C-alpha cells in the first residue's frame, strides 16, 4: 500500500505542466496513434477475410487461422524490436520512426489487396518486422522530458493514444470493409477487394503521420540532435510563412562557439554571462524557454537571458565522455534492477493479453447446468464449469465501458497519483491487485442466474483491472527508462518492446490450451488461477526494482553494494 512516507511534496497541476514540451510530445503521440489503428483495424473483419480465403477446412477452424494473422505481427515485432532499438541508438530516433511508418503504410496496402491467406500473412509479418516505433517513441518521450515532474503526463500519452487508436481502428475496419458501399465509384474496388478500402484510408492517415514526423519532429538522441535537419528547417519555414510563427533557433543556427565540436561552455562564463547571442526576433523553442528576450537599445544584437541559456544548455549540451561510450556489455545493459523491470513488463503484457483474449470467451460460454434439475453444475470452490451466457451485445458493452474507464484512468487518475506519490510504490500497489482479481474471475459463474448482478460484478472486476493495468504499465515504463543508462535507452526500450511482443504471442497460445484443458476437466479455474500465480511473480519481482533518482544514495548506503557508480549511469545531464 502507498503510505504517507511515499508521498511527494505537493505540486499543483499547473506547476507540473509549466514548461511542458507540448509540441514534441504531441508529434510523438500522433506517430504513436498510427500503430494501434493499423494493428486493431482488422479485428472486425478478419474472420470474414479468412473465410473468403478458403484456407480453413471447416468454419470451426477459421478462428485458428485468424489468430495466426493477429499474432504473427507480435511475434515478428519480437524478432526485430531490439535491433530497431540498437539502430536508434546508433543512427538516431527519427529515422527509425520514419522507416516504421513507411513500413506500416506499405504493409497495410499489401494486406488490403491480398487475394490469398499467405499474402495477408506475409503483409502482417512485414508490418511487425519493420515496426520498432513503440520502443523508439517511448525513448523519445523520456528524452524530451528530462524534468521528472513532466514524465507522468508525458508517458501517459502512450496508453492514452493506444486506447484511442484501439477505438478508431475497429471503427474504420468495421464500417468500410465488405462488398457493399453507397458510393458508386467505389463499387468496382470493393467488389474485387472487399478489404482494401479500410486499409487505404488508414494508409493515408499513416502517410499524414509521416509528413508530420519528417518536417516537425526534432531528433532527441543526445549525439544526433545537433546534426542539421534540413526537413526541420523546411518545417520551420512553413510555420513562419504560413502560420506566422516566430523563427526557431536551432543548435546549427547559432554562432560557431556554440556548435558541437567546439566548446559549448566558455571556461570564463558564469551564471550571469550569456552563452551566445542571436538576432532579435528569434526565439528558443524549448520546454523552459518561454521568456521573451529583452531588447538592446539599438534592437540589433540581443543576448540570451540566463533562463534561455540554461534551456539551451540542458537540451543541447553534450554528455560526459563516459556517457558517450557506444559499446556496452550485457552486464552494462542488464544490471539486476533493469532485468527485473523487463521481467515485470513481460508479465504485464502476458496477463493483459490473456485477459483481453479470453475474458470475452468466458463471458460468452453457456452456463453449465445439471440437465435433470436445471441447477448450476459448479460447486464451490474447485468444481467450476461453463461461462456466463452473455450475448455479443452484452460482452461488447462491458469491453467498451472498461476501455473508456481505461482512458479516464490515463487522463485523470494517472497524473494525479503521480503528482502525489512516488513511482515505485504506485507500481507495487497496482500489481498486488492482479492476483486477487484473476483468482476471483471464475467464481462469477455463481452469479450467472442473476444477470444484472453478474453484469455489475463483471463491470467492477474488469474496471478495477483496467485501471490497475493502465497505471502499472506507465509506472514500469518510467522505472525502466529512468534506471537505464542514457546512451543505451533506445536499445533497452527495444528489448522491452521485443519481450512484450513475445509475451503477446505466447500468452494466447499457452492459455488457450490451459483454458481448453481446464474446461474438459470441469476445472474452469485452471486458466485463471495459473494466470493469478504468474502475476504473483511480478509482485515478488517488484521488490528488486528501483528508481534512478534515488539510486546513488541507496547504493552508497547499502553495505552489500559493490560500487556506487552503478546507480548513476542512468542520470540525465540537467
Q: Examine the domain organization and report whether 68 and 139 are in the same domain.
A: yes
User: Is 51 contained in some domain?
Assistant: yes
**DSSP characters over 126-154:** HHHHT--HHHHHHHHHHHH--SHHHHHHH
Q: Examine the domain organization and report whether 386 and 473 are in the same domain.
A: yes
Q: Examine the domain organization and report whether 430 and 478 are in the same domain.
A: yes
Domain residues for the domain of 5 are 1-221
Q: Please tell me which residue, 204 or 462, carries the higher pLDDT value.
A: 204
**H runs (alpha helix) in 365-433:** 392-408, 414-420, 423-431
pLDDT at 310: 46
pLDDT at 104: 92
Q: Report the Cα 373 to chain-centroid distance in Å.
A: 50
- Pair 123, 529: CB distance under 8 Å: no
Q: Examine the domain organization and report whether 42 and 123 are in the same domain.
A: yes
Q: Examine the domain organization and report whether 129 and 254 are in the same domain.
A: no
Is residue 285 over pLDDT 60? Answer: no
The 3-state DSSP class for residue 112 equals helix
> What are the Cα distances from residue 433, in Å, to 1, 382, 570?
11, 22, 30
- Which of 332-336, 528-532, 535-539, 542-546 shows the lowest mean pLDDT across its residues? 332-336
- Which of 121-130, 401-410, 535-544 shows the lowest mean pLDDT across its residues? 401-410
pLDDT at 294: 39
pLDDT band of 210, cuts 50, 70, 90 = very high
Q: Which residues have a Cβ under 8 Å from the Cβ of 101 and sit 6 or more positions away?
A: 31, 34, 133, 206, 209, 210, 213
**How many domains does the structure of the chain reveal?**
3
Share above pLDDT 90 across residues of the chain, in percent, rounded to a whole number: 10
According to DSSP, the β-strands at 301-303 and 277-279 are antiparallel
Rg of the chain over Cα atoms, rounded to whole angstroms, equals 26
Q: Examine the domain organization and report whether 492 and 524 are in the same domain.
A: yes
User: Is 505 contained in some domain?
Assistant: yes
Please identify, among 221, 238, 257, the residue that sits at the C-terminal boundary of a domain.
221
Among 543, 571, 493, 544, smallest CA distance to 148 is for: 571
Average pLDDT (514-530) is 80
Among 407, 31, 390, smallest CA distance to 209 is for: 31
Q: Provide the grid cell at 74.
A: 507480435
pTM recorded for the entire structure = 0.61
Based on the number of CB atoms within 10 Å of its own CB, is 363 exposed (0-12), middle (13-18) or buried (19 or more)? buried
User: Is 312 contained in some domain?
Assistant: yes
Average pLDDT (323-330) is 50
User: ∠423-328-485 over CA atoms, to 5°?
Assistant: 20
The 3-state DSSP class for residue 302 equals strand
Q: Examine the domain organization and report whether 305 and 403 are in the same domain.
A: no
Q: Provide the grid cell at 238.
A: 512553413
Number of H-type helices and E-type strands within the chain: 23, 4
Residues comprising the chain, all counted: 574
Is residue 508 over pLDDT 80? Answer: no
pLDDT at 249: 72
pLDDT at 386: 74
pLDDT at 14: 60
248 vs 239: CA distance, rounded Å: 10
pLDDT at 203: 94
Q: Please tell me which residue, 262 or 536, carries the higher pLDDT value.
A: 536
241 vs 225: CA distance, rounded Å: 24
Is residue 110 over pLDDT 60? Answer: yes
List the CATH number of the domain containing 542: 1.20.1250.20
Q: Provide the grid cell at 309.
A: 541559456
Q: Please tell me which residue, 334 or 160, carries the higher pLDDT value.
A: 160
pLDDT digits (tens, 9 = 90+) for 161-186: 877 777 777 778 877 887 877 778 88
252 vs 229: CA distance, rounded Å: 9
pLDDT digits (tens, 9 = 90+) for 411-467: 777 777 777 777 788 888 888 999 999 998 888 888 777 878 888 888 888 888 888
Average pLDDT (253-268) is 45
Q: Provide the grid cell at 438.
A: 484473476
pLDDT at 207: 94
Q: Examine the domain organization and report whether 418 and 452 are in the same domain.
A: yes
Q: Examine the domain organization and report whether 285 and 175 are in the same domain.
A: no
Q: Provide the grid cell at 106.
A: 506499405
Q: Examine the domain organization and report whether 431 and 351 are in the same domain.
A: yes
pLDDT at 13: 54
User: Is 239 contained in some domain?
Assistant: no
154 vs 147: CA distance, rounded Å: 11
- Which of 289-293, 330-334, 514-518 shows the lowest mean pLDDT across its residues? 289-293
Is residue 204 over pLDDT 90? Answer: yes
Among 150, 156, 160, 132, smallest CA distance to 490 is for: 132
Is residue 201 over pLDDT 90? Answer: yes
Q: Examine the domain organization and report whether 378 and 475 are in the same domain.
A: yes
Average pLDDT (352-374) is 75
How many CA atoms does the CB half-sphere of 357 hold within 13 Å?
26
Q: Examine the domain organization and report whether 187 and 287 are in the same domain.
A: no
User: Is 235 contained in some domain?
Assistant: no
Is residue 90 over pLDDT 90? Answer: no
Q: Give the alpha-carbon dihedral of 171, 172, 173, 176, to 10 degrees.
A: 120
Is residue 284 over pLDDT 70? Answer: no
Q: Please tell me which residue, 266 or 440, carries the higher pLDDT value.
A: 440
Amino acid at each position: 500500500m502507498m503510505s504517507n512516507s511515499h508521498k511527494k511534496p505537493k505540486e499543483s497541476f499547473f506547476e507540473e505542466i509549466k514548461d511542458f514540451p507540448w509540441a514534441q510530445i504531441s508529434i510523438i503521440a500522433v506517430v504513436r496513434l498510427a500503430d494501434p489503428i493499423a494493428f486493431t483495424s482488422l479485428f472486425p473483419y478478419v474472420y470474414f477475410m479468412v473465410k473468403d480465403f478458403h484456407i480453413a477446412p471447416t468454419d470451426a477452424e477459421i478462428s485458428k487461422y485468424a489468430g495466426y494473422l493477429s499474432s504473427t505481427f507480435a511475434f515478428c515485432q519480437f524478432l526485430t524490436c531490439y535491433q530497431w532499438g540498437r539502430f536508434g541508438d546508433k543512427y538516431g530516433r527519427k529515422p527509425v520512426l520514419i522507416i516504421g511508418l513507411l513500413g506500416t503504410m506499405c504493409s497495410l496496402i499489401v494486406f488490403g489487396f491480398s487475394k490469398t491467406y499467405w499474402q495477408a500473412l506475409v503483409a502482417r509479418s512485414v508490418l511487425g518486422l519493420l515496426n520498432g516505433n513503440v520502443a523508439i517513441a517511448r525513448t523519445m518521450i523520456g528524452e524530451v522530458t528530462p524534468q521528472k515532474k513532466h514524465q507522468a503526463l508525458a508517458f501517459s500519452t502512450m496508453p492514452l493514444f493506444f486506447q484511442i487508436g484501439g477505438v478508431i481502428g475497429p471503427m474504420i475496419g468495421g464500417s468500410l470493409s465488405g462488398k457493399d458501399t453507397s458510393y458508386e465509384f467505389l463499387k468496382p474496388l470493393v467488389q474485387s477487394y472487399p478489404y482494401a478500402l479500410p486499409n487505404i484510408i488508414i494508409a493515408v492517415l499513416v502517410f499524414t503521420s509521416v509528413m508530420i514526423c519528417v518536417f516537425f519532429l526534432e531528433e532527441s538522441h543526445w549525439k544526433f540532435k545537433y546534426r542539421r535537419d534540413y526537413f526541420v528547417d523546411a518545417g520551420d519555414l512553413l510555420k513562419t510563412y504560413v502560420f506566422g510563427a516566430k523563427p526557431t533557433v536551432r543548435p546549427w543556427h547559432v554562432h560557431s562557439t556554440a556548435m558541437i565540436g567546439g566548446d559549448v561552455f566558455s571556461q570564463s562564463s558564469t551564471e550571469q554571462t550569456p552563452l551566445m547571442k542571436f538576432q532579435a526576433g528569434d526565439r528558443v523553442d524549448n520546454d523552459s524557454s518561454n521568456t521573451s528576450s529583452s531588447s538592446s537599445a539599438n534592437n540589433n544584437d540581443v543576448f540570451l537571458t540566463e533562463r534561455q541559456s540554461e534551456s539551451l544548455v540542458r537540451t543541447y549540451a553534450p554528455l560526459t565522455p563516459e556517457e558517450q561510450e557506444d559499446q556496452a556489455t550485457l552486464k552494462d545493459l542488464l544490471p539486476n534492477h533493469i532485468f527485473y523491470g523487463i521481467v515485470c513488463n513481460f508479465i504485464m503484457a502476458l496477463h493483459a493479453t490473456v485477459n483481453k483474449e479470453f475474458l470475452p470467451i468466458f463471458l460468452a460460454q453457456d452456463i453449465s447446468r445439471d440437465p435433470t434439475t436445471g441447477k448450476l453444475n459448479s460447486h464451490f470452490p474447485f468444481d467450476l464449469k461453463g461461462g456466463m451466457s452473455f450475448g455479443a451485445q452484452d460482452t461488447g458493452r462491458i469491453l467498451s465501458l472498461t476501455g473508456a474507464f481505461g482512458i479516464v484512468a490515463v487522463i485523470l487518475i494517472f497524473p494525479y497519483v503521480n503528482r502525489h506519490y512516488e513511482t515505485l510504490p504506485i507500481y507495487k500497489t497496482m500489481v498486488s491487485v492482479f492476483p486477487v482479481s484473476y483468482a476471483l474471475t471464475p467464481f462469477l459463474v455463481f452469479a450467472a442466474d442473476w444477470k444484472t448482478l453478474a453484469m455489475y460484478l463483471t463491470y467492477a472486476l474488469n474496471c478495477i483491472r483496467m485501471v490497475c493495468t493502465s497505471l502499472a504499465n506507465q509506472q514500469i515504463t518510467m522505472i525502466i527508462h529512468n534506471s537505464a543508462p542514457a546512451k543505451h535507452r533506445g536499445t533497452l526500450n527495444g528489448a522491452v518492446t521485443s519481450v512484450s511482443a513475445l509475451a503477446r504471442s505466447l500468452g494466447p497460445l499457452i492459455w488457450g490450451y490451459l483454458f481448453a484443458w481446464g474446461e474438459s476437466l470441469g476445472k474452469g479455474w485452471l486458466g485463471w488461477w495459473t494466470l493469478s500465480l504468474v502475476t504473483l511473480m511480478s509482485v515478488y519481482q517488484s521488490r528488486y526494482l528501483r528508481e534512478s533518482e534515488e539510486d546513488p544514495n541507496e547504493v552508497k548506503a547499502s553495505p552489500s553494494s559493490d560500487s556506487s557508480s552503478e546507480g548513476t549511469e542512468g542520470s540525465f545531464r540537467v
